[in-house]
Amino acid sequence: MLSYRHAFHAGNFADVLKHAVYVTVLRYVTIKAKPLYVLDTHAGAGVYDLGSPEAAKTREHRAGIERVLAAPGSWPDLLAPYLELVRAFNPPGRLAVYPGSPALARAILRPQDRLELVELHPTDHAALAARFARAERARVVRADGLAHLVARMPPPERRGVVLLDPSYEIKTDYEAVARAIAKAHRRFATGTYLLWYPVIERTRVEALLAALRATGIRAQYRIELCLLPDSPGRGMTGSGLVAINPPWMLPAMVEAGLPWLKQRLSAEGPCEAGWLVPE
């Protein structure tokens, strides 16, 4: 039974980091004219109305995207293209909607690229399918995202970015995601994989990172930003990403932009970036 709905969390601090990195990666890999395949294994509803009852209930975007967009001065390179995209989805001077990963990818991809969006929840799948019904070169699938990932590798384009953004509702998701990445990477070792994870219990994060290291996959770069020090029982205090085969410029951009984001979000917990497994 799926109960997680991203509408309650859209635009929160975790989305800001995840989407800034996703946009940075997609913009870099679309510099080359060659066709690209992008797979979003846990796609959500696509776009979120920040005036909806779900968003109004938690107002998580206020401490996330709203705060970051309102920053005076100039944005760091890690965030600027993403924030410009969020602005482009909204009326001037207002934050009414938040574009999720499918909408951000669609805004960046070119006619020669292909976007596959996988979502299992019936309501969010229906919303996503309706939104992308006329989108050329984009396909919405109702399936298990991890099984779909393994089945789709390698993509015929031989160039690909995979975003894995599970809801971690089931505790076994942590192990399942590392297993799926290992299988997908055996079939498509040159793809870029971006895995998002929540910091709820540090031991689970450590087990996930250990499982990723144990795959033997090289070039795993990890980024983490926590609003609060680790405090089990207080819900999600932070989040992170592991980028496998990141574009060469990503580490420098993250290292330059992360301190700005930490300060802007008034984050007081662990904040770090570095190679989990070197190249």
Instruction: Considering the complex, state which of residue 4 and residue 260 has its C-beta at the smaller distance from ligand SAM.
Output: 4
**246 is a contact residue toward ligand SAM (CB under 6 A):** no
Residues 182-221 that bind ligand SAM (CB under 6 A): none
Residues 128-147 that bind ligand SAM (CB under 6 A): 144-145
Please check whether residue 83 is in contact with residue 32, taking contact to mean a CB–CB distance below 8 angstroms: no
Instruction: Considering the complex, state which of residue 194 and residue 271 has its C-beta at the smaller distance from ligand SAM.
Output: 194
User: Considering only CA atoms, which of 162, 78, 167, 153 is closest in space to residue 124?
Assistant: 167
Report which DSSP code applies to 154: S
Please check whether residue 34 is in contact with residue 255, taking contact to mean a CB–CB distance below 8 angstroms: no
Instruction: Considering the complex, state which of residue 54 and residue 144 has its C-beta at the smaller distance from ligand SAM.
Output: 144
| Residue 102: strand, helix, or coil | helix
Question: In whole angstroms, what is the distance from residue 83 CA to residue 54 CA?
Answer: 23
CA distance readout (Å), 279 to 182, 216, 247, 273:
16, 11, 11, 15
Q: Which of 11, 35, 76, 100 binds ligand SAM (CB under 6 A)?
A: 100
Give min distance, CB of 121 to ligand SAM, in A: 3
Q: Which amino acid is at 51?
A: G
Q: Please identify, among the stretches 83-91, 119-127, 184-192, 234-242, the one whose residues bind ligand SAM according to the rule CB under 6 A.
A: 119-127
Phi, psi (deg, nearest 5) at residue 200: -115, -50
Structure tokens at 212: 């990723």
In sequence order, what are the beta bridge partners of 40? 117, 163
Bridge pairing between strands 114-118 and 37-40: parallel
Q: Which of 44, 155, 257, 270 binds ligand SAM (CB under 6 A)?
A: 44
Q: Please identify, among the stretches 164-172, 245-253, 262-270, 271-279, the one whose residues bind ligand SAM according to the rule CB under 6 A.
A: 164-172
Residues that contact ligand SAM, how many (by CB under 6 A): 19
Q: Which residue among 113, 165, 173, 230 is the active-site one?
A: 165
Structure tokens at 74: 């100039």
Phi, psi (deg, nearest 5) at residue 14: -70, -40
**2 is a contact residue toward ligand SAM (CB under 6 A):** yes
Instruction: Considering the complex, state which of residue 65 and residue 253 has its C-beta at the smaller distance from ligand SAM.
Output: 65
Active-site residue, 165 included = yes
Q: Please identify, among the stretches 61-69, 162-170, 225-233, 267-275, the one whose residues bind ligand SAM according to the rule CB under 6 A.
A: 162-170
Burial of 156 (0-12, 13-18, 19+ CB in 10 A): exposed
Structure tokens at 124: 């969010």
Question: In whole angstroms, what is the distance from residue 128 CA to residue 99 CA?
Answer: 12
Q: Please identify, among the stretches 86-94, 112-120, 154-162, 200-208, the one whose residues bind ligand SAM according to the rule CB under 6 A.
A: 112-120
Q: Which of 25, 29, 39, 43 binds ligand SAM (CB under 6 A)?
A: 43
Give min distance, CB of 34 to ligand SAM, in A: 25
**6 is a contact residue toward ligand SAM (CB under 6 A):** yes
**181 is a contact residue toward ligand SAM (CB under 6 A):** no
Active site amino acids:
165
Q: Which residues sit at the interface with ligand SAM, rule CB under 6 A?
A: 2, 4, 6, 40, 42-44, 100-101, 118-121, 124, 144-145, 165-167
